[in-house]
Structure 1
Amino acid sequence: MHLPNRLVSPFLAILLLCSISNTAFAAPPNSRQLYERIRPSVVEVVTKNRTNLGVSSVASGFVTHRKDWVITNYHAISDSIFEPDDHTLQIVSMDQGELRAEIVAVDIQNDLAILKVEQALRVPLLELRETLPDRGESGYSMGKPGGYQHSIVTGTFNGVTDKTSTPLIIFSGAINGGMSGGPTLDGEGLVIGVNVATSTKYQLVGLAVHAEAVGQLIRLNNPQKSPSLDDLRKDIARQVSAFNQQIVMRFDLPTHSVRRLGPFQVRGDISRDEPCSAARKDTPNDHYKRVDQRCDSSTSLYISDKQNAGHIVMGSFWFNSEIMSSHGLARLVEDQLTRLRNVKDNDGPTASWSCTEQRLRGRFDLPIQLHACRRAVEKLPGLFDYRFRYTPLVSGQDALLVAIGMSGFDDQSARAILLKSMDSLSFTPKAKP
């Protein structure tokens, strides 16, 4: 026997309304509710000095994927990789106190690290949201700022940066020191990013690594045991070399122009965000004029407090004199070159410099004198710092010196960038009257 439709419809409508009111119309959690739910899964990441157990650095982290895994920033734990005899790594949980931790994997380009805790944490696993937030969407950031208690701050998402090698989420919340490595959350409490930095120039501008990078790092690493420090360093060197290759590829983009210095054509901008600068260096007693061009790459990778990788500085120095002889001008350039050759062994945590000199042929069979120096980067096999100085061997009233400094490059990438610089070089002598 069937009930009439007019009786069934209102009954079903009431059930449907009740169901909707408990789901779609449920109010999102407020910041207090979200703090209480998320707080147990947010931990401190502490690096201590072995000598006196004093704290070297404090950052934040959070638990996801596995209850014995913590996500944090790479820069927060790098001392434990490069100075393990001096530093220990711990996490501090809300209920279980201090626990030893070791490093499972790092992603230096995205400033991420996975830590494995000595025992599983009795906390909920936070869920990742690997889609970018809408511009204007509300969100939260959690962590432990400095010596204060764990905090939650509100803000809005405002797109992603386009001035770094890795796009970062822009968040209008106060991400302060110590909150690095903590979660950036959407309104439902899903992890949308990892706190990484705050602007030192603009107030209330925080930056977060997108959660998609966290998901990729997790999917690429599920080891049964943590890698050795040597293996971690080799992996960091491999990641730096991959970043170097990206830099080489960008050198071929049309945005990287050439510029003129008198009769010389030289390499121009090496970053779209940092145009080359130029300045005259004349003095009243000089018998020549000099114009200096400086071009700087805008990005590099943080390796440790003592080492960055992938940074390039190019300087081009044009000398011109209507009075000095070609020999006198050449001697002037040689004096400048001698000062630039004076690299010191104590200006970084690396081995001694090894230098060579040779004569090459550039474009249009232009003779070039090259002075090249290289030194190994400590604890990162296959990476080096470089100092290149070269000058075209031309006669007349003009001379040029090009100086290139490169930090943390492999041989192949460094050679490619040097050749691209020299390939931009040309000389057009002045027509004789």
Structure 2
Amino acid sequence: MRILVILLSLVFAPAHSQQTAQSLFGQYQNALYQIKIIDLESGNKSSIGSGFQVDLQGNIVTNYHVVSEYIYYPEKFRIEYMDHLGQEGQLQLIDLDVINDLALVRKVQLNDTESAFPIALSLPEQGSDIYSLGNPHDLGMIVVPGTFNGLKKNSFYQRIHFTGAINPGMSGGPVVNHKGEVMGVNVATAGNQIGFLIPLAKVIDLLSNQDAEPISNDRLKPRIQEQLMDNQQRLFSRLKNQNWKTASLGKASVPSQVTEFVSCWGDSNANNKDALFLSVENRCRLDEQIFLHSDLNTGSLELDFEWLEGKSLGQHRFYSFYTDSITGAGPGNKAGKVDITNYRCQQDKVTNIHGVSSKTVLCLRAYKDFDKLYDVLFVAATLDHDENGLISHFTLAGVAKESALTFTKKFMDSIEWQ
């Protein structure tokens, strides 16, 4: 009998999930929209995503990245919606949250059949069935059943881990519980049924401005800068106050874990018997970035340490090789000349609090639209040994000068000889 019960459960579970999905779609399809960015010159759509209505005043939640073209170039684009019946209308931008990839837009004209998704009071239990709604590949609105796996672990930017297929075009669509209550927003996929959602708390924060007036074009980029500045201060305050764990790398001791949301990996060429030098690496990354527009990301953090031993190179050849290795560092984020200036660099010789002497290069490039933010590239090469040494490198994206200098000092002072 017990086996029969289990088998029946396995048979009816998918059917129940499908029935719930159909019920949700039928109940809330009037509040689910395709969001379109329209090029004013051609009159055609430039990009699409999804969105969902949250009240009877016409406020709709979507992703920031869905409407980012309009936010950066409001004179070139407009925002429109299309409902499940093919009816279209224009939208106004009410607010944005660039850090959490959210935007609030509002219908310019209401109709007689407005409806809205209810907002959940809390997240469901881990393992619960949840349902992602959206418009994948411009094929029409669908419902994708999935599983709530809790908040992503070791993440600075909170995301829900969703087991289910989130496809292009579903960005900005709601993810709901079995009652149809919104508890997250589609934002990204890692493939293989691994998706990520913006959690309920961030949606609720955005909706605190749902009675606001539309944001004017001249306030769009200042609003982004305010949020970027607040975020980088929060990030670097945590990095500054954290005790960085260290580990051995050659004859040096270097950071191996600066915080729980920065992951570190190691590598070496020790198994290559033909190598003329030994290279041992420790690389750390903040894997999450902030999307500003299709050609510009920010918010990244990279730390690299490489221990080099000359083996059979000899002192002079090793020095030449060692010097060439310093020039290999590059920026850690995607950016173009439209958005950032060229790097301006300063060379120096620095001895840290542990007596480690290094030749350093510190480079900054400015954001053209955000006058308080910079990308930082830093490289240091130790000078204390003839045929071995440590190359240390970091990149920061979208930081204030004060944060960059404070981080640089902590980075250098974290290195010592064993």
Amino acid of the residue matched to residue 424 of structure 1? S
Say which SS state the counterpart of residue 322 (structure 2) adopts: helix
* Corresponding residue number in structure 2 for 1:125: 116
- Which of 38, 43, 50 is residue 33 of structure 2 equivalent to? 43
Deviation at 1:277, TM superposition (A): 1.7
| Greater Cα radius of gyration, structure 1 or 2 | 1
- Which of 122, 129, 147 is residue 138 of structure 1 equivalent to? 129
- Change over 3 Å in CA distance of 1:346–1:179 after alignment to 2: closer
Over aligned residue pairs, what C-alpha RMSD do you find? 3.0
Amino acid of the residue matched to residue 39 of structure 1? Q
- Of the structure 1 ranges 288-297 and 60-69, higher mean CA displacement relative to structure 2 is found in 288-297
Q: 1:84-123 maps to which residues of 2 (within 5 A)?
A: 84-94=74-84, 97-121=87-111, 122-123=113-114
The yes-or-no answer on 1:241 pairing with 2:229 is yes
Q: 1:118-197 maps to which residues of 2 (within 5 A)?
A: 118-121=108-111, 122-197=113-188
* Corresponding residue number in structure 2 for 1:364: 354
The yes-or-no answer on 1:209 pairing with 2:198 is yes
Q: Deviations over 1:197-226 (max 9, x none)?
A: 3331x22x44322222211112146423x2
The yes-or-no answer on 1:307 pairing with 2:307 is no
- Change over 3 Å in CA distance of 1:248–1:323 after alignment to 2: same
Distance 1:404 1:365 in 2: 20
Amino acid of the residue matched to residue 61 of structure 1? G
Q: Tell me the TM-score normalized by structure 2.
A: 0.83
Q: Work out whether residues 270 and 297 of structure 1, in 8 Å CA contact, stay in contact via their aligned partners in 2.
A: no
The yes-or-no answer on 1:79 pairing with 2:106 is no
- Change over 3 Å in CA distance of 1:241–1:277 after alignment to 2: farther
Identity %: 23
Q: Work out whether residues 180 and 197 of structure 1, in 8 Å CA contact, stay in contact via their aligned partners in 2.
A: yes
Amino acid of the residue matched to residue 97 of structure 1? Q
- Change over 3 Å in CA distance of 1:423–1:59 after alignment to 2: same
Q: Work out whether residues 390 and 402 of structure 1, in 8 Å CA contact, stay in contact via their aligned partners in 2.
A: yes
Distance 1:228 1:63 in 2: 22
- Of the structure 1 ranges 402-411 and 288-297, higher mean CA displacement relative to structure 2 is found in 288-297
- Change over 3 Å in CA distance of 1:283–1:355 after alignment to 2: farther
Say which SS state the counterpart of residue 130 (structure 1) adopts: coil
The yes-or-no answer on 1:336 pairing with 2:303 is no
The yes-or-no answer on 1:351 pairing with 2:352 is no
- Change over 3 Å in CA distance of 1:415–1:96 after alignment to 2: same
Say which SS state the counterpart of residue 315 (structure 1) adopts: strand
Say which SS state the counterpart of residue 275 (structure 1) adopts: strand
Deviation at 1:66, TM superposition (A): 4.8
- Of the structure 1 ranges 369-378 and 389-398, higher mean CA displacement relative to structure 2 is found in 389-398
- Which of 232, 235, 251 is residue 239 of structure 2 equivalent to? 251
Q: Work out whether residues 360 and 367 of structure 1, in 8 Å CA contact, stay in contact via their aligned partners in 2.
A: yes
Amino acid of the residue matched to residue 72 of structure 2? F
Deviation at 1:402, TM superposition (A): 1.4
- Change over 3 Å in CA distance of 1:341–1:48 after alignment to 2: closer
Deviation at 1:71, TM superposition (A): 0.4
Distance 1:337 1:154 in 2: 50
- Change over 3 Å in CA distance of 1:115–1:399 after alignment to 2: same
Q: Deviations over 1:15-61 (max 9, x none)?
A: xxxxxxxxxxxxxx944443222111111100123342332221111
Q: Work out whether residues 234 and 381 of structure 1, in 8 Å CA contact, stay in contact via their aligned partners in 2.
A: no
Distance 2:170 2:151 in 1: 20
Q: Tell me the TM-score normalized by structure 1.
A: 0.81
Amino acid of the residue matched to residue 356 of structure 1? Q
Amino acid of the residue matched to residue 413 of structure 2? D
Deviation at 1:135, TM superposition (A): 2.5
Distance 2:212 2:97 in 1: 15
* Corresponding residue number in structure 2 for 1:268: 256
Q: Deviations over 1:245-268 (max 9, x none)?
A: 343244357684222222222222
Say which SS state the counterpart of residue 336 (structure 1) adopts: helix
* Corresponding residue number in structure 2 for 1:25: none
Q: Deviations over 1:254-296 (max 9, x none)?
A: 684222222222222346462222222867473x433333222
Q: Work out whether residues 331 and 377 of structure 2, in 8 Å CA contact, stay in contact via their aligned partners in 1.
A: no
Distance 2:117 2:331 in 1: 53
Say which SS state the counterpart of residue 156 (structure 2) adopts: coil
Deviation at 1:365, TM superposition (A): 4.0
Aligned residues: 395
Deviation at 1:149, TM superposition (A): 2.2
Could you tell me which runs of 5 or more consecutive residues in structure 2 were left unpaired when the two chains were aligned.
1-18
- Which of 407, 414, 418 is residue 424 of structure 1 equivalent to? 414
Amino acid of the residue matched to residue 51 of structure 2? G
Distance 1:218 1:403 in 2: 41
Distance 2:350 2:45 in 1: 53
Q: Work out whether residues 381 and 390 of structure 2, in 8 Å CA contact, stay in contact via their aligned partners in 1.
A: yes
Amino acid of the residue matched to residue 257 of structure 1? K
Deviation at 1:137, TM superposition (A): 3.0
Deviation at 1:114, TM superposition (A): 0.3
